[in-house]
Amino acid sequence: MATSDTAAATSGVTPVPKAPLRIALAGLGTVGAGVIRLIAANAELIARRAGRPLIITAVSARDRAKDRGVDLARFAWEDDMTLMAARDDVDVVVELVGGSDGPALVLARQAIAHGKALVTANKAMIAHHGLELAALAENAGVALRFEAAVAGGIPVIKGLREGVAANKVERIYGILNGTCNYILSTMEDTGRDFGDVLAEAQAKGYAEADPTFDIEGTDAAHKLSILSAIAFGAKIDFASVDTKGIAPIKAADIAQADALGYVIRLIGMAEAGLDDTGAPRLFQRVQPHLVHFDNLLAHVDGPTNAVVVEGNFSGRLLFQGAGAGDAPTASAVVADIIDIARGMDNGFEADMTFSVPVAQLQAMASAEAGARMGRAYVRFTVADRPGVLAEITAAMRDAGVSIESLIQQGRAESEGDVLVALVTHEGPESAVARALALLDGSPSLTGAPLVMHILGE
Ligand SMILES: NC(=O)c1ccc[n+]([C@@H]2O[C@H](COP(=O)([O-])OP(=O)(O)OC[C@H]3O[C@@H](n4cnc5c(N)ncnc54)[C@H](OP(=O)(O)O)[C@@H]3O)[C@@H](O)[C@H]2O)c1
């Protein structure tokens, strides 16, 4: 653009305006309405950067009559969003409906089949069907982009695909779910319990009416599996993400972590390595962790997301920002659309959806968690009677776990129970698992123990 502008200016010829990029928008909820507002608000600068104007030609949602705070009168309306894929006045289909399967997936497949580029914010669909869609897009020679699917407004996918492209990525980890982070940091600030803070988060719109995907870690696991594919060139393997949520965390755990110099954060972490035979192994985990006050992630509060990428030449990079919300998510969606507009003249890099062609992505078996070394926080709910502490410490000793500190935390919610927490010295995770197996079924334990790993440097 700059070159042709300069040439035109020097030759005195007015450049021929490029044809607009025509968009079909499926889903007019939080993100969809945000995309309409953003394209209208920044139309001129977007047209300059994209090399052509972006125009929305058709839209679809369930309820045509709903007031969405944006003017839809200038767009064609499709009751059946899948029909947008076949429209002649559409170059790119933007899917902002959600759901791993169902109409979003039908639309995605049809858009590609009709030779349209596809932009989506749908992490569930990419985590489950991303490889299939990327292969279809590659064969059709169209672009598939999903920056908004991971960490909302944070350009972490572009960061990985482009900024870190020269690096061997060794580890990627971070805070990938704003709802959990809001709940945990509010529990920390207020001393209130999980259920209470979740109800408030729902009332304020930080948590969905059905928060299951968020609080059980599924949403973070979707995002982690997508990041792993791009970072390590691995086939997406959502099923093997070892996923635990935040519901079992009590106010007493947060207070205890604080006394020890930690906060609790839901951390998604992925590492690629080799096993003893030299075969590639992928470790993926989403779990609440203790994070030391000195770690930058301990200061990521509220609904913010943060992703750390460790490259062998770049060193440690921190991507931080709004992981959700209409404006930040729309920012990521429209950045993808701008990429596609730029690529209309120069090719879409249809084979670079996951940084390498789909056929080159490796199937990597899961790494065993037990061999990992680290420290852990273990909290027990036990009967308030003599001998219980001795039973726990004996199990730890017999399993080879070395205890750094042991804290009796006081009363649990149920009558006659107390909470006991301990922090282990560095050791294999398998040893802690062995100790818990030794205690399994003991009448001294009145609730399931909670294990949280301590995030290492
Ligand atoms: N919200 C965020 O901050 C955020 C951040 C990152 C990624 N995402 C992802 O972005 C996507 C959209 O999220 P959102 O928060 O915008 O969702 P949302 O507010 O619930 O909006 C969903 C939209 O899809 C429409 N829709 C649902 N089922 C449909 C169907 N069968 N046919 C046609 N339209 C249908 C709804 O129509 P009606 O309005 O008529 O009901 C609504 O307009 C999801 O994949 C989500 O995971 C969201």
Query: In sequence order, what E strands does 328-367 have?
Result: 365-366
The atom of ligand 1 lying closest to the CA of 332 is: 6
| Residue nearest (by alpha carbon) to ligand 1 atom 27 | 97
Q: Are 60 and 80 in contact (CB under 8 A)?
A: yes
CA 208 to chain centre: 16
| Ligand 1 pocket, residues with Cβ under 6 angstroms | 27-32, 60-63, 66, 81, 96-98, 103, 121-123, 148, 152, 324-325, 329
CB atoms within 10 A of CB 399: 19
pLDDT digits (tens, 9 = 90+) for 54-107: 999 999 999 999 999 999 999 999 999 999 999 999 999 999 999 999 999 999
Sort 406 into a burial class: Cβ within 10 Å, 0-12 / 13-18 / 19+.
Answer: middle
For the chain, the average pLDDT equals 93
The atom of ligand 1 lying closest to the CA of 219 is: 47
Q: How far apart are CA 281 and CA 278, in angstroms?
A: 9
| Residue nearest (by alpha carbon) to ligand 1 atom 6 | 152
| Residue nearest (by alpha carbon) to ligand 1 atom 42 | 29
302 sits in which H/E element: none
pLDDT digits (tens, 9 = 90+) for 121-147: 999 999 999 999 999 999 999 999 999
pLDDT in the model for residue 5: 47
What is the CA(208)–ligand 1 centre distance, in A?
Answer: 12
Query: Mean pLDDT across the stretch 174-180?
Result: 96
Q: Are 175 and 265 in contact (CB under 8 A)?
A: yes
In the set 66, 223, 244, 250, the catalytic residue is: 223
pLDDT in the model for residue 2: 40
The single-letter code of the amino acid at 60 is S
DSSP-derived letter for residue 374 is: E
Enter the pTM of the model. 0.94
Report which of 37, 322, 338 is spatially closest to residue 153, judged by C-alpha positions: 322
Residue 346 has pLDDT above 80, yes or no: no
What is the CA(87)–ligand 1 centre distance, in A?
Answer: 21
What does DSSP say about strands 450-454 and 280-292: parallel, antiparallel, or unpaired? parallel
pLDDT in the model for residue 3: 43
Ligand 1 binding pocket mutation candidate from 30, 35, 122, 150 (most atoms within 8 A of CB):
30
pLDDT digits (tens, 9 = 90+) for 388-419: 999 999 999 999 999 999 887 766 667 778 99
Distances (CA, A) of 406 to 122, 376, 378, 379: 44, 12, 10, 10
The runs of H, that is alpha helices, within 141-261 are 156-158, 178-190, 194-204, 212-215, 218-232, 251-260
What is the CA(319)–ligand 1 centre distance, in A?
Answer: 25
Residue 360 has pLDDT above 70, yes or no: yes
Query: Mean pLDDT across the stretch 244-263?
Result: 94
Known catalytic residue: 223?
Answer: yes
Q: Enumerate the β-bridge partners of residue 321.
A: 305
pLDDT in the model for residue 4: 45
Tokens read off for 317: 């990079």
